[in-house]
């Protein structure tokens, strides 16, 4: 009996980052004219000052496509060479055609890459990265585009102060390529069964709801341990990590988590302040914006960690890209 053929194991690395956000900026002062709130109330409880809101022509697909295009340009990679596209989103427009397939077509990926849509809400990008990394490791793909994109404004009750002050729209993307030396560590992922309904998008029309206190309690008491497991899975210690990129849910969650992990001297993504909570987009969006500004260190270990709807969590350590020179 013949032995089944398997590809030799290898690794993957990030070679480019990109993002896209709508033009419209919604400030806390503007929100105060829509619901009973003010800038001080929002800032104190969330750290958010502004967020981007989609216009009539902004869709999950258009934002994901723009972010992917920018990431490919950053990497200097021809779209025709991409053989896997993974898009994470809570707000995919349709069940079929899927967003990943639409992105591939709009970017002219004539090779017909494998398209995969993922929905694990706020941890979606980390799940998508794991899928792409594993595909490359096993030889199923050589070049992948991974996107997190969400249009939360379309599922938000703009009369509900507890949720509308949080949300924003946008997309972030990364280009992954095969490499002999892995630069993306093993994923550490899981779920919290008793919090399954703590973050939900249900109803007709669909509306975003959450149990803020339950989420905050879990983030303050449990997230640290899961983040440490991510680092351990990579065979590293927290002293080795140079960048923290956590789900941009709330600055009141990010800051205590940074402190608990001893990260005061590390580069910390705090894009929630100007972009709000963009669900699956939040980690790649924050990373790409820092990369574009020249703030994100090159070629260093970064801890990615997402958590939220489902209630799912996931993370991996990645090496930040290096600039083409």
pLDDT tens-digit map of 166-208: 999 999 999 999 999 999 999 999 999 999 998 888 889 999 9
What was the pLDDT predicted at 9?
A: 80
Span 119-132, average pLDDT = 97
Res. 112: pLDDT tops 80: yes
Kindly state the average pLDDT of the residues 13-31: 98
* Upper half-sphere CA count for residue 11 (Cβ side, 13 Å): 15
Q: What percent of the chain has pLDDT over 90?
A: 89
* pLDDT at residue 6, rounded to an integer: 67
Q: What pLDDT, on a 0 to 100 scale, did the predictor assign at position 1?
A: 75
Mean pLDDT of the chain: 95
pLDDT band at 59 (very low <50, low <70, confident <90, very high): very high
d(CA 291, CA 186): 23
Model pLDDT, residue 94:
87
pLDDT at residue 110, rounded to an integer: 87
Q: Is the pLDDT of residue 211 over 80?
A: yes
**Residue showing tokens 């990645």:** 318
Residue 4, pLDDT > 80, answer no
Pairing of strands 301-308, 169-179: unpaired
Please determine, for residue 235, whether its predicted confidence score (pLDDT) is greater than 70: yes
Cβ partners under 8 Å of residue 121, min gap 6: 90, 199, 201, 279, 280, 308, 309, 310, 312
Residue 227 scores a pLDDT above 80: yes
Residue 321 in this model has a pLDDT that exceeds 80: yes
Q: Which residues are designated catalytic?
A: 122, 247, 277
Tens of pLDDT, residues 259-293:
999 999 999 999 999 999 999 999 999 999 999 99
Residue 165 has pLDDT above 80, yes or no: yes
Residue 218 CB contacts under 8 Å (≥ 6 apart), including other chains = 192, 195, 198, 307, 311
Q: Which residues of 42-71 are buried (b: 16+ CB within 10 A; e: fewer)?
A: beebbbbbbbbbbeeebbbbbbbbbbbbbb
């Amino acid at each position: 009996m013949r032995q089944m053929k398997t590809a030799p194991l290898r690794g993957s690395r990030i070679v480019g980052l990109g993002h896209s956000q709508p033009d419209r900026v919604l400030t806390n002062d503007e929100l105060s004219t829509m619901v009973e709130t003010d800038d001080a109330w929002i800032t104190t409880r969330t750290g958010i000052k502004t967020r981007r809101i989609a216009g009539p022509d902004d869709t999950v697909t258009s934002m994901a496509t723009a972010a992917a295009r920018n990431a490919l340009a950053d990497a200097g990679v021809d779209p025709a060479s991409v053989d896997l596209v993974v898009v994470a989103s809570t707000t995919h427009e349709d069940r079929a055609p899927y967003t990943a397939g639409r992105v591939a077509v709009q970017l002219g990926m004539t090779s017909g890459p494998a398209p995969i849509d993922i929905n694990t809400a706020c941890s979606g990008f980390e799940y998508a990265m794991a899928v792409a990394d594993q595909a490359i490791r096993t030889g199923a793909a050589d070049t992948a585009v991974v996107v997190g994109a969400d249009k939360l404004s379309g599922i938000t009750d703009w009369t509900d102060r507890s949720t509308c002050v949080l949300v924003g729209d946008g997309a972030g993307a990364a280009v992954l390529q095969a490499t002999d030396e892995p630069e993306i560590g093993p994923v550490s992922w899981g779920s919290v069964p008793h919090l399954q309904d703590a973050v939900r998008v249900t109803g007709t029309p669909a509306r975003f709801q959450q149990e803020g206190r339950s989420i905050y309690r879990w983030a303050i008491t449990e997230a640290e341990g899961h983040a440490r497991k991510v680092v351990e899975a990579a065979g590293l210690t927290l002293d080795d990590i140079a960048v923290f990129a956590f789900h941009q849910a709330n600055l009141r969650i990010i800051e205590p988590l940074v402190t608990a992990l001893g990260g005061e001297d590390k580069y910390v993504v705090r894009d929630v302040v100007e972009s709000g909570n963009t669900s699956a987009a939040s980690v790649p969006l924050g990373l790409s914006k820092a990369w574009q500004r020249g703030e994100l260190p090159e070629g260093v270990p970064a801890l990615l960690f997402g958590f939220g709807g489902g209630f799912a969590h996931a993370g991996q350590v990645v090496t930040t890209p290096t600039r083409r020179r």
